[in-house]
Amino acid sequence: MIGCKEYTDVELIRLALDESAYFVCLYNKYHSQLLRYIHRLSNVGQEDAEDILQDAFVKVWKNINSFDGDMKFSTWAYRIVHNETISFWRKQKKREMEQVVLGDIDGVGVDDTDESLEQKELAVQHVLSKLPPDYKSILVLRYFEHLNYEEISDVLKMPMGTVATRINRAKKRFAKIANDKSIKFFED
């Protein structure tokens, strides 16, 4: 049995490149906390969470050569797990996610009695297509990709204060367009 505790994450990565058994050390070290993160992020069952984590670690292994040693391995792993969880959630919970997204945009209510969720998705896409690109991208990052303000700031290369302002303005513009277009599932 190989020893894991005496090595740092960066050393384990270097060793794993030559001897794949060392990758198990990284897996074992982060398995519990990443699994807990998946549960907190998505409320999926244990089996689905294990599947997400397995897919994430496959991506970690496939991309281990591109790991930037200047950042922490745990941060990199969390990012991959986050992306895998969101992808899984989108595939499995698409309809529920649409409700969450619509419910999170201030000034917009949802009435499920008349419209199907597919029609609502088309309507949301239609309204998003009417937004200026900077407003569309920030809403998609926040509500579809579930990035926090700091992550959006990094992606769009803008200060967090600007992110907050732009999200607020984009939500107001979204609601205005939705209401102006008299889309049935938006309350007046």
Task: Identify which has the larger pLDDT, 141 or 101.
Answer: 141
Provide the pLDDT for residue 167.
Answer: 93
d(Cα 48, Cα 15) in Å, to the nearest integer? 30
**122-151 residue pLDDT tens:** 788 788 888 887 888 788 778 877 878 988
Tokens of 131: 């937004």
Task: Identify which has the larger pLDDT, 43 or 23.
Answer: 23
Provide the pLDDT for residue 100.
Answer: 47
Query: Is 133 exposed, middle or buried (CB count within 10 Å of its CB: 0-12, 13-18, 19+)?
Result: exposed
User: May I ask the CATH class of domain 94-180?
Assistant: mainly alpha
For residues 175 and 108, is the Cβ–Cβ distance under 8 A? yes
For residues 121 and 75, is the Cβ–Cβ distance under 8 A? no
d(Cα 37, Cα 98) in Å, to the nearest integer? 22
Mean pLDDT of 154-175: 89
All CATH 1.10.1740.10 domain ranges in the chain, comma separated: 9-92
- The fraction of the chain above a pLDDT of 90, given in percent, is 24
d(Cα 157, Cα 69) in Å, to the nearest integer? 22
Provide the pLDDT for residue 127.
Answer: 86
Is the predicted pLDDT of residue 169 greater than 90, yes or no?
Answer: yes
> What is the fold, at CATH topology level, of the domain defined by 9-92?
Rna Polymerase Sigma Factor; Chain: A (1.10.1740)
All CATH 1.10.10.10 domain ranges in the chain, comma separated: 94-180
Task: Identify which has the larger pLDDT, 69 or 7.
Answer: 7
d(Cα 127, Cα 120) in Å, to the nearest integer? 10
**107-116 residue pLDDT tens:** 444 454 444 6
pTM above 0.85, yes or no: no
> What average pLDDT is seen over the chain?
79
Return the minimum-mean-pLDDT range out of 22-31, 35-44, 99-108, 166-175: 99-108
